Structure 1
Amino acid sequence: MSNKEQYIKKFCQSVPVFHQPFWLDAVAGKNWDVALITKDERLLASMPFVFKKTLAGREIIMPHLTQFLGPYYQLTASTYRSRLNEEMDLISDLLSQIPSNSIFFQRWHFSFQNWLPFYWERYRQTVRYTYILENILDHDILWSQFNEKIRREIKKAANNYIIEESKDVDAFYWLLKKNLLTKGNRIAFSREVLQNLYNGCKSNNAGQLWIAKDSSGKIDAAIFIVWDRTAAYYLIGGKNPENKNTGTMSFLFWHAIKTMSERVSVFDFEGSMIKGVENYFRSFGAKQKPYFEIFKTSSIPASIKFALLKMLK
């Protein structure tokens, strides 16, 4: 039985939502695999990866709509020295299973900070940032930590809009596309990918699409939230660019945070390196968390291609 078959049948129950087979199927089709370490029918470590085949060889990439991949493991040793030894061994073993490639690029979850075995193999790293609410269970404390503008936006939107669950992926995709076109950008993924991901999340009780609409039924904003056993994640959202200062995005976030507190204690905004977006997430009182982008190229042409791809994102 291959690593992928074992992972699907036996070992994927506890992994993050972005590592789940249904997620990888939705965003990558058949073009994914997994490095796997097991012992006595127990999962010790895993590292799924998505790839595409080109004339220059295999490229290991980050798929659209996927916040992080990278390693997943839970250390069991009791002392720091033993845990570090265990971690080094697991990461090195996972790395040894990664197939040859012309480009490697992954984002890792912020809780995995040890990339030293990758450094030793000439991989490189860039730090990025996400913002998280570490305890969403006490709504009064959360509200007190929002800045005044966020609170005003929520109150304003609550008087003019209602929030509903939605199944209308077409309308959501149209809203995302319209929002990006207004900013001079193009949407990077197809409607089919978004539909497949929505279907997979609903089938696995791992996601919800919410819309904010006015009294006439017109959608002003929407967000897609996904979750696993430990956290909820803001995946993507959009607002009608024709309507200014409605407060509906803040209203939707507040609704999502309160709803997700019935499932998990952590809310991850997924961060942004865009100044205005970063400031907005920070306004909710969220805590900054650094995470790694790990990458490597095998040749000068691959390096040029990777640099161009990064510029286009």
Structure 2
Amino acid sequence: MDLGVSGTVSGTSALSPTVFHEPWWLEAASGGTFGEVIVESGGRLAGRLPFVVQRRARSFDVVRIPDLTHCLGPAIAAEFDPPGAVKSTKGIEICSQLIAQLPKAAHVWFRLHPETANTLAFDKAGFLSTVQWSVEIAPRPEEQLWKAMRDKTRNAIRRGGDRLTVTAWDEPGRFLDFYRDCLRRNDRRNHYDDATLAALAGEVLRRRRGRVLAAIRPDNTPEAAILTVWCKRREFYFMSARDTSAHFGAINLLIWRAIQDAAAANRIFDMDNIHVVDGALPNHLMLSGFGGNVVPRYCVSRSSALLTALQGVRRALGR
């Protein structure tokens, strides 16, 4: 196979297993600084692996996925990734060549996309593999989706529906203003770069690759809003905002509407990430309450010997 490196992609829709792999997303999420490595075979693109390089002090560069990008990882063309036993061998070969081309860095980290079947190529290259978890809800008739939920979740949706009207916001500024206002009211800071978030929300809505759903009170003020993004196969619960006085049923109502719309479009609804905080699972009950299956999300990381040694010294010193 011939190897190549490129900073842009053209005509690679088959090599974009998620919306996060698409060039327009990577451009907006990275401020135009993303790169990628590619593998070609017979003059055709066989695989690609996008990334960003974060410059750190003392030359400790980090190769990783861009901020606000929920998953990424190697994308392999279908013709080079056939089903059956051959799939593992060919996929590992292409992934290994992609990994070998990554820039030298003190640390490399990827959260791999849902279509990733294994981490063998990364394991072979000396990466540490870990697992995070998500909840996926497959498209089904509405009656089956409703029945699969917990009683408490259904009750919260009913209570939210009694008080609130769900509407779509087509202007990204409305969601961003509401999001910032909710942070201010809750005395919380924005952990995301505001310009990057604005660029992504604008591109998502302009390209009709996602939606903002808002729960509106009778006085026409918003109580909560969510942003979802999608590709052909999968819709991701991307982010949410809620007023300090919001009833918990407001977010449940919006998620339920998004699940219905995703099912109507034959898309899997991906709740994205079950959080683990200090030995607890703070959002597991809420996310799993909508039914669906708990599924793995593989993460891979590799640190240089120098960085590993320095981290060991810091731990020994209690820093």
Fold-level similarity (TM above 0.5): yes
Structure 1: any 5+ residue segments left out of the alignment? 309-313
How far the C-alpha of 1:180 sits from its partner, in A, is 5.1
How far the C-alpha of 1:70 sits from its partner, in A, is 0.6
Query: 1:71 matched to which residue of 2?
Result: 74
Hey, what's the Cα distance between the residues in 1 that align with 2:26 and 2:237?
Answer: 18
SS in 1 for 2:224: strand
Query: 2:303 matched to which residue of 1?
Result: 297
How far the C-alpha of 1:177 sits from its partner, in A, is 4.4
Query: 1:43 matched to which residue of 2?
Result: 45
1:252-304 deviation digits (Å, cap 9, x = unpaired): 01111112223233110002224131111100112001111111122454776
Whichever residue aligns with residue 291 of structure 1, its letter is R
- 8 Å Cα contact 2:232-2:267 kept in structure 1: no
2:92 matches 1:88 = yes
How far the C-alpha of 1:72 sits from its partner, in A, is 1.3
Query: 2:290 matched to which residue of 1?
Result: 284
Query: 1:128 matched to which residue of 2?
Result: 132
- 8 Å Cα contact 1:113-1:291 kept in structure 2: no
Query: 2:242 matched to which residue of 1?
Result: 239
Query: 1:223 matched to which residue of 2?
Result: 226
2:6 matches 1:11 = no
How many residues align? The count is: 302
Query: 1:25 matched to which residue of 2?
Result: 27
Greater mean deviation of Cα atoms: 180-189 or 158-167: 180-189
- 8 Å Cα contact 1:232-1:264 kept in structure 2: no
- 8 Å Cα contact 1:133-1:285 kept in structure 2: yes
User: Pick from 113, 134, 141: which aligns with 2:117?
Assistant: 113
- 8 Å Cα contact 2:215-2:224 kept in structure 1: yes
Hey, what's the Cα distance between the residues in 1 that align with 2:114 and 2:84?
Answer: 22
TM-score by length of 2: 0.86
Query: 1:187 matched to which residue of 2?
Result: 190
Query: 1:311 matched to which residue of 2?
Result: none
Summarize the Cα distance change of 1:183–1:41 in structure 2 as closer, same or farther, 3 Å threshold: farther
Structure 2: any 5+ residue segments left out of the alignment? 315-319
- 8 Å Cα contact 1:176-1:187 kept in structure 2: no
Hey, what's the Cα distance between the residues in 2 that align with 1:304 and 1:113?
Answer: 33
Hey, what's the Cα distance between the residues in 2 that align with 1:62 and 1:99?
Answer: 13
- 8 Å Cα contact 2:106-2:307 kept in structure 1: no
Summarize the Cα distance change of 1:303–1:60 in structure 2 as closer, same or farther, 3 Å threshold: farther
Greater mean deviation of Cα atoms: 218-227 or 182-191: 182-191
Hey, what's the Cα distance between the residues in 2 that align with 1:302 and 1:180?
Answer: 36
2:164 matches 1:161 = yes
TM-score by length of 1: 0.87
SS in 2 for 1:8: coil
